[in-house]
Chain A
Amino acid sequence: MALTLQKGGNLSLSKTDPSLTKILVGLGWDPRVTDGAAFDLDASAFLLNADGKVRGEQDFIFYNQLRSPEGAVEHAGDSRDGLGDGDDEAIKVDLTKVPADVDKIAFVVTIHEAEARRQSFGQVGKAFIRIVNSVSGVEVVRFDLAEDASTETAMNFGELYRHNGEWKFRAVGQGYAGGLKAMCDQFGLNL
């Protein structure tokens, strides 16, 4: 049963779905009908070590780097306008393949060229991000971006992290002023 995330909410995977090994992070939104530049939302993932930093550039999975070297994380490609039903972008994660020195995977959603286009999530119709158990197809958690993150342009949606030998999910739902660049700085990645 999907939990609709409220800002600051927290979700324990071990309680909600202990069998989770393969997940899909889905991002969706409605294409723009009013005037102006299209809304182009981007999903990305950061593989982080125990210090909360990437080990190298290969740990940033996004539309220009679709796959992590060992195949644990795979981005299904960039949608530039949100056309079509359902998830417009998706990132697949196989938890069993994640390298031993990766402690955490952070999922981030950003608006492409948000400053130049003067856009924020609140302007984007029906923007959401969700996590689905790809084996069972059950949606685990969903965050309504247009409603709850309305004035943000970049957000750390949530993190998968190791805890005592199992994987857990922490729903973060917090925005970053300064957008993707600020998040990359935080994760030790120089763009």
Chain B
Amino acid sequence: MAVSLSKGGNVSLSKEAPGLTAVNVGLGWDARVTDGAAFDLDASVFVVGENDKVLNDQAFVFYNNKKSACGNVEHQGDNRSGEGSGDDELVSVNLAGLGAETKRLVFAVTIHEAEARHQSFGQVGKAYIRVMNQAGGTEIARFDLSEDASTETAMIFGELYRHGEEWKFKAIGQGFAGGLAPLAANFGVNLA
């Protein structure tokens, strides 16, 4: 039975699903009906080490870099309009394969070409992030982001992180004004 988290809350995936080795992290949202350009949200993952920065250049996983250097984090592809029910974008994570230097995986969502298209998260409804056990597909934890109208164009949804011997998931739901560039810079990724 999936744990439903509130902002700031966390859950031990290892306790909820003993023997867990791999997860699928799904991000979903509804695109409201708008005139003009499609509403294109992009999921990305920052694979972060002890110093709160990405481990290397390929540790920023997104639609143009679908696999981490170690191969344990894989983005399943870009959904450009939010069409379809269920998860709009999916990231597979092989937890058992991650090296000890990997401390956190931070899941972010950004709006593609937000400035040019004059779009922000205020228009986004039913945004959520969920963690599923790859073996069997059961949903372990979920965070439904009921954010009020917001002017942000980039948001940290949640993170997978190590805590002692366990893997845990924390619901974050915090935005970054200015979008992907400062968000990425925060994790040591230079987008130049």
Q: Chain A interface (Cβ within 8 Å of chain B)?
A: 33-36, 118-124, 147, 150-151
Contact = CB atoms under 8 A, between A and B. Distances in A.
B170 A122 contact: yes
Nearest to A34: B174
A151 B177 contact: no
B178 to A, nearest CB: 9
Given A150-B9, A150-B170, 19 more contacts: A33-B186, A34-B156, A34-B174, A35-B152, A35-B176, A35-B177, A119-B8, A120-B6, A120-B8, A120-B9, A121-B8, A122-B9, A122-B10, A122-B171, A123-B7, A147-B10, A150-B8, A151-B8, A151-B9
Contacts, number: 40
A35 B150 CA distance: 10
B6 A123 contact: no
Contacts of B6: 120, 151
Nearest to A35: B175
B163 interface: yes
Nearest to A118: B7
Interface in B166-188: 170-172, 174-177, 186
A141 B79 CA distance: 48
A147 B175 contact: no
B8 A34 contact: no
Contact of B175 (A36, A118, A121, A123): A36
Contacts of B175: 34-36
B7 A120 contact: yes
Interface size class of B (residues with CB under 8 A): 10 to 19
A94 to B, nearest CB: 35
Interface of B: 6-10, 152, 156, 163, 170-172, 174-177, 186
A25 B177 CA distance: 35
Contacts of B170: 122, 150
The 9 closest A-B pairs by CB, nearest first: A122-B8, A34-B174, A123-B8, A120-B8, A35-B175, A150-B9, A151-B9, A150-B8, A35-B177
Contacts of B171: 122
B186 A150 contact: no
B142 to A, nearest CB: 15
A3 B111 CA distance: 44
A12 B149 CA distance: 49
A121 B156 CA distance: 17
Contacts of A35: 152, 174-177
B181 to A, nearest CB: 14
A122 to B, nearest CB: 3
A122 B170 CA distance: 8
B51 to A, nearest CB: 13
Nearest to A151: B9
14 contacts: A34-B176, A36-B174, A36-B175, A120-B6, A120-B8, A120-B9, A122-B7, A122-B9, A122-B170, A123-B8, A147-B163, A150-B8, A151-B6, A151-B9
A123 B174 contact: yes
A119 B7 CA distance: 8
A34 B171 CA distance: 14
Nearest to A121: B8
A35 B174 CA distance: 7
A118, A119, A123 interface centre (most CB from chain B within 10 Å) = A123
Max chain A Cβ within 10 angstroms of own Cβ: one of B8, B172, B175: B8
Contacts of A147: 10, 163
Contacts of A120: 6-9
Nearest to A149: B8
Nearest to B168: A147
